[in-house]
Structure 1
Amino acid sequence: MYPSVVATLALAASALPALGLVSNVIAPSTGVCGQNISVTLQGQESLTNNLVFGAAWGVKPASLKNCTSCLGYKAGYQDLSKNEKLPFGRNETFQVEIPDLPNGEYYFVTTIPYEVGESGGVQLRTWNQSFTITGDCMN
């Protein structure tokens, strides 16, 4: 039912990553289906060599609030492997298109895959934010 992000994250993990850590995500609480919103990733320096691969964005139904691993409907992906601004303590803003979904209450999800230190282990860091979709896409 929901698009798989496994292929997206696998592609991200194969990229040459940037060092540091994404510490926060800033996104609006509302958006119009089919239109872009501005999403800011706040980067910070890290004491360990965290390798950030990218950012996957999705919109999930409010009914999936407790599903911490659900990305929902794909809203976008940004390769951060060659980004010189992130995550070295700077912010970077991206345009993310809201999927054509019915008006209503959702969660805007950001998932950042990163490699931790020299261990080679990949972890995911996820942010969920209440989000309202407006517009006439599917009503």
Structure 2
Amino acid sequence: MTTPHVEATWSIAQLAEEFGLTHRTIRHYEELGLLSPERRGTVRVFHRRDRTRLELIVRGKRIGFPLEEIRTIIDMYDETPGESGQLVYLLDQIAARRAELEQRRADIDRTLAEMESMERRCRADLRRLQS
């Protein structure tokens, strides 16, 4: 006799704990249509698809994508051209995000160098005034 396949499910509390999110954040993602858990009365039941989508949302947020961009990327998986189109688009978005971050890093490095130069001048001026 075979055992029926039981799909793994998660509660909002389990996903919140696993991903370090608040229940409110997960409900917000649901309100935006990024997640669509099954409803059993007042209880949300999250299936593997929701968990995977939440993982992608968290990953996308971590690298700086806005939620609308994350939605576009996630939704592409279910639409034509499917996963390959999704990956090409994602690679383009990663390249753009990387370019932005590299520019910000260059700006920060330039600012730090200016601060260092100003600090040296201030210290030299202070030594001169104190002697």
TM-score range, shorter chain: under 0.3
Greater length-normalized contact order (CA 8 Å, ≥ 6 residues apart): 1
Higher strand proportion: 1
Larger-gyration structure (1/2): 2
- TM-score of the superposed pair, with normalisation by structure 1: 0.26
